[in-house]
Structure 1
Amino acid sequence: MVTRLVDAVALAVEEVAAYGPDRTNNRSRRGGRMKETERLAAALLEYGSVERTEEVANAIDYVNGVWYIPLAQGGRLRLEAASLPHAVGELLALYAKAVSGGEDGQRLVQAWLGGERDVEGETLIGSLQELGWRQELGVVVLLELERATEPGTGAEAVALLRELIEPEQAVLAVQGTQRVWLLVPVSQPAAKEQRFAKRTAVLNELATQDVRRHSYSEQELEETVSAWIATLGAELFLLGRGGLSSVRSLEELALAKREAEFALEAGKRFRSKDVLHAYHRLGMARLLYGTPQTVCQEFVREILPAGVLEALTPELRETVVTFVEHGQQVADTARALFVHRNTLLYRLERIHELTGYDPRQPQEGWTLWLALLLLRADCTNGRG
């Protein structure tokens, strides 16, 4: 029985090698490879179990001692490596390498990026170098997509992003049903050098500059990622936002990943009007998101006690925020709120009476604004 199984796996390796790795969109090659994968799954079925998954798998994978083989009808075959005959396990590894064309390093980076496994720094760097990273500069982006709960939506988002981003060395990974990680290098294949010359210059400038300086190139890069988010909305009806951090050294990949996630979470709370939040451009959001919850609670209770907060209607709260964000200018605020100047002045006086803080005074106005911002961001009820 084992001999027959070894022969079946060996035949799959030989036949898929004849097709070669699929680095193109060749449908016949993809179809041939899928047929061989189906035969392989059938031969190994008694050693594993079939799992139904939300995401559509399109490649054989190995995670924490478990092989996963995609099935044509959906789902995947789960195989514990320890339960397989030794010879079969070795041939299975050869098969995976033949299918991917040596892209095991990419899967390793994907698994790390998507939070599926921990990878040592040296191993991670080696995998990226195998993928063609010749420089250590790049960006990490975390996208969070709303309305992405339908099965397969994450895979569709990754496929669309791959078309938009294009460089072969870029790594994309799905985490859960709503998050997509992107790791994009500066260097590009020589054949695409001219095509990506402008973008390469942008990434180089971002990754090497002093973070205290802000240049047009930084803004241009952020606009590019924002355009990717907009395209996801237009093509897949996914509303999204992102956090971005630059990679200045491959040794700092883990740090850049944490920074991208911090930027996303801080930006969602305190820069809610923006769709992309760069770690080096968070401004006040960095300070506020890092403030302990107890400090936020005490501040809000001091400025807006329960009775005052209850009396401060949504209309008056909006007036404070709009007035401060328009430079405490009466005419500009009245236009923004679509109210008469006298109506605005009445509201400001009413706010002063209720709170004891005069929003027309710079420091007092900003104090009220900050307390309302912390409430709106729900910072007094935890980090969510």
Structure 2
Amino acid sequence: MNYRTHIVSSLAEVGQPVWDALASSQARSNPFLSYAFLHALHESGSACAETGWQPQFIVLYDGEELVAAMPLYVKSHSYGEYVFDWAWADAYHRNGVEYYPKLLSAIPFTPVTGPRLMARNAAALGALLDVLRGTQEASPVSSTHILYPPPEMAPQLEQAGFMLRSGVQFHWLNPGYANFEEFLATLEKKKRKNIRAERRKVADAGVTMRRLRGVDATDADWRFFNRCYQRTYQAHRSTPYLNLDFFQRIGRTMAHNILLVIAERHGQPIAASLVIHDATTLFGRYWGELEYVDCLHFETSYYQPLEFCIEKKIAVFEGGAQGEHKMARGFLPTKTWSAHWLAHPAFADAIERFLAREKGGIDEYMDELNDRNPFKDPQ
């Protein structure tokens, strides 16, 4: 079929109803693929050309119908990706070869599995892959990276010349717990005791917790959350990726997907976390504090969202990138994937051999983690 192909620098060129209709039709779709989330990243200046995330989305039309699309960025660095290729960039640099710019298909600052090559049917998917191949080969880029695609995309990506890389995240699964105590009862005694002790420390410090749905959050709540977020990045001597404009935008446009957890002491808010969810999955995202309280991070970012999942019968809580400490709180290791194409033949060969060795290490790491299952009867 003859598709009409465009490269767009703003989702406004596609339009929200059209983009969301395609995104929501995909298996494993989630709120991060929505027009509201992506457009907020771009329009707030959080992910744009000036910050090293130049949008170059590929869209394919059959007549007036959007039949395929993919989020794609020209990157001038590797920040905000959570699949680390710094060693690859360093190897290029040491050999006098430019690694940047590169192409990246991902949701900026969001290590969440989901569709990257969206298509209405197999023919449109094949055409989208052809356009991607042509784009990367015609562009002055070192490589193309597709982060956190769904596992079922692996055969098509390998056939298109991509190398696959494994990673590990930690997810909590809800088989239908009636309450938090029922969940605790499934854990080993030591894990159960430690969680109760951590929650008690927060309560004994005079901290109370408030869960606030996005539809009820005020501008003052968003300004407070942004203060917490910015303060925590600064405490770690890092530059925050997001800004108040971004948080205000998603607060207006996707409030039904948002939960804010606010910690208060003596009537004053001192910390907050932001999680995003749909009907089946909750995604841990951002956290910050103005005042340190022992174990407050665990209460705000894990235990309160877990209670929310149980109350709303949400099946999965994705805890985000890294963090073996999550296992002690009932999260289990889950494999993730990324796909990589490199233009330079010698580097492509070297990285292919590296990935083969790394995969063996990841498999051993998964076995080791599974041996430390926190549940009384391994799930």
The answer to whether TM tops 0.5 is no
> Based on CA coordinates, which of the two structures has the bigger radius of gyration?
1
Give the TM-score, by structure 1 length: 0.27
Q: Which has the higher helix share?
A: 1
User: Which structure is richer in relative contact order (CA contacts within 8 A, separation 6 or more)?
Assistant: 2
Give the TM-score, by structure 2 length: 0.27
